[in-house]
Structure 1
Amino acid sequence: MTAEFPPSEATRVVQRISEILVSRNETIAVSEAACGGLLSSYLVSVPGASQWFHGGTMVYSLKSRLKLSGWSEQDIHDYTGPSVDVALRLARNLKFELGASYTLSETGYASRSPNLTSSNREQNVGVVCYGVSGPHEDISATHDTGSEDRCYNMQQFAIHGLKFLLEQLEKTHAERQTKEEVGPATDQKSLVSPSGAQPTKQKETDEPKTKKKRSNQP
């Protein structure tokens, strides 16, 4: 992991996130696990973050999810490891608890651990699952760094998570601008996102190792 803090790549992404949220008077919150707090650190490194960052949770252990993420003992018993379903549940719960416009969650394997509390032993190290819960829809994604270096993975998990969040913010930002330009009478079905993504289909991101899918809010 580079000694530069925050990494310039993360700073550029967070600055754009800040611009969009401020312009729309919206807020975000994050649920972290494998990132170890880097998501929050990168976000608050930008001046004025208190205007749009509600805060977040650090649910590194399963026990912490009993208190911070609305999990039950049965949930922990049934847990099989990081997944997009787990990520979405963490994002949805935090959105309910903190009332942010958007929530970003992550859960994954930054390195191998003999104390891994999971029955899913086939999950590759370097794989992280993301969930974003927004005002109108939820979307999930996975990313594979291709590395087993713990510190490198933690940093990349955070950076790619922020990029994933920004992608969703920019998509809705562009859609809103289009609606304003064409007027309220326009048939909503005729509005297509810049990426051409459909809510019910999986779609590859610009990152070749990142996969994502959408789901309707419960």
Structure 2
Amino acid sequence: MKAAVLTIGTELLIGQVINTNAAFIGEMLTKAGVTVTESVSVSDQPDDILDAVHRLMQKNDVVITSGGLGPTSDDITKALFCKYFKTELIFSDETYQNIEFIFGRRNMKLGELNRQQAMVPAGAIVLKNSLGTAPGLVFEKDKSILIALPGVPFEMKQLMTDGVMPLVKQKYKLPEYHQKVFIVFGIPESHLAERLASWEVLLENNHAELAYLPSPNGIRLRVTLRNISTLKADVLFEEFHASLKVLIPEHLAATEDIPMSRIVGKMLLDKKLTLAVAESCTGGYIAHLITSIPGSSVWFRGGVVAYSNDIKTDFLGVNNNDIMQHGAVSQEVAEQMATGAMIRLKSDYGIGITGIAGPDGGTPEKPVGTVWIAVATSEKVISKKHVFGDNRERNIIRASVMALDMLRKEILLND
């Protein structure tokens, strides 16, 4: 069974809005065993929308659209779909009652534009939107169906989960689909591929599909198995995992698609240990990654953004002579920052990070991208120098994740 995703809105094409809807819809369909053939974005121009709908409907069993169902003048999708499917708008009491309920809950008064949202195409299946005023719509033509969803992300997600996926699973017999993600960190993609040559043969012999997905947060190895039972898939995934542990034990960080902050958090939580951070060049980004995790207060004591040298010396206890002799970006300062965070915030582990994020501030001896990272325990301090590059945003992300990975490895050594 094949499907396509069509996201509608000029704002998506000009970079004003990031198209997260297409990614979510594609992921939901893929996990259900649907083959997503393409994802297309078009402008708000009527001809562009209709041309895309016609082409995609001819090639796919299902087309899911997002956008253009709102109450304003630029929301033209519903009228265009009436034209394409040769139908007309009729008033839906059920949809209007839902709109009344939503406005009543918000203590707001309905306007005429909101009443018009209760006009739905005759013959279409209406999917209730419990979070907004624009319902989802399902059309059928020549054995293919089109499902129109609102563009507001949280409304679209609710409709995909509660309305679209049950409908698709009921209407089509979907193949067995199983996916496993392994998180690898601290090794370039090309070097990883060389070390995993025998592993790739193992996957190929078992008809598994492999994708390398690199990012500043590490490399995701996505393995897909099709048309086999869950029991058989679990056995194979365990075999693949065992092989990875032999081939890249120091780089295999997780067997599920989670960020490094969650990986470290689970380790600290399991061992009833705590962490504190002292950040300079990352400006609190490590603490941001950690506090984005619900429940992280159990294992995260807190952090200090020690951007100026006097904060490093006065609060964290960094020796001013070391700053004068070695510079703020140095092994000595990073190690003392890590120890200071651990002591002042009374934690089991401390991370210290200092560097030159860029684009300015570099020297021939310490170019932009130079970062010192340290991890402290009550017994020792380890540290490492990195030179990441000249992009400030990327340097902050890479340095933060690298610091968490250093902590991960240290926790493993202390097992």
Shorter-chain TM-score range = 0.5 to 0.7
The change in CA–CA distance for 1:159 and 1:149 in structure 2 (over 3 A counts) is same
1:92 is matched by which residue type in structure 2? T
1:134 is matched by which residue type in structure 2? T
2:399 is matched by which residue type in structure 1? F
The change in CA–CA distance for 1:66 and 1:171 in structure 2 (over 3 A counts) is closer
1:168 aligns with 410
1:149 aligns with 391
Which one has more relative contact order, counting CA pairs under 8 Å at least 6 apart?
1
* 1:152 partner SS: helix
2:265 is matched by which residue type in structure 1? S
The change in CA–CA distance for 1:21 and 1:139 in structure 2 (over 3 A counts) is same
2:284 aligns with 37
2:398 is matched by which residue type in structure 1? Q
Question: What is the percentage of aligned positions where both structures have the same residue?
Answer: 25
1:122 aligns with 365
User: How far apart are residue 159 of structure 1 and its match?
Assistant: 1.1
Give the unaligned 5+ runs of structure 2.
1-17, 21-214, 219-257
1:51 aligns with 298
- Cα shift readout 1:158-213 (whole Å, capped 9, x = no counterpart): 1111111111112223xxxxxxxxxxxxxxxxxxxxxxxxxxxxxxxxxxxxxxxx
The change in CA–CA distance for 1:88 and 1:71 in structure 2 (over 3 A counts) is closer
The change in CA–CA distance for 1:49 and 1:122 in structure 2 (over 3 A counts) is same
TM-score (norm 2): 0.37
Give the unaligned 5+ runs of structure 1.
174-218
The change in CA–CA distance for 1:129 and 1:8 in structure 2 (over 3 A counts) is closer
* 2:352 partner SS: strand
Instruction: Report 1:23-102 matches (<5 A).
Output: 23-71=270-318, 74=321, 76-102=323-349
Which of 9, 26, 30 is the aligned partner of 2:217? 9
The change in CA–CA distance for 1:88 and 1:152 in structure 2 (over 3 A counts) is same
Which protein shows a greater Rg? Answer: 2
For residues 335 and 322 of structure 2, what CA distance do their matches in structure 1 show?
14
1:138 aligns with 381
For residues 360 and 350 of structure 2, what CA distance do their matches in structure 1 show?
28
1:68 is matched by which residue type in structure 2? F
User: How far apart are residue 15 of structure 1 and its match?
Assistant: 1.5
* 1:130 partner SS: strand
The change in CA–CA distance for 1:14 and 1:71 in structure 2 (over 3 A counts) is closer
For residues 127 and 112 of structure 1, what CA distance do their matches in structure 2 show?
12
User: How far apart are residue 152 of structure 1 and its match?
Assistant: 1.2
**Higher fraction of strand:** 2
For residues 134 and 82 of structure 1, what CA distance do their matches in structure 2 show?
21
User: How far apart are residue 13 of structure 1 and its match?
Assistant: 1.3
For residues 328 and 403 of structure 2, what CA distance do their matches in structure 1 show?
19
**Which one is further off, 89-98 or 45-54?**
89-98
For residues 72 and 17 of structure 1, what CA distance do their matches in structure 2 show?
30
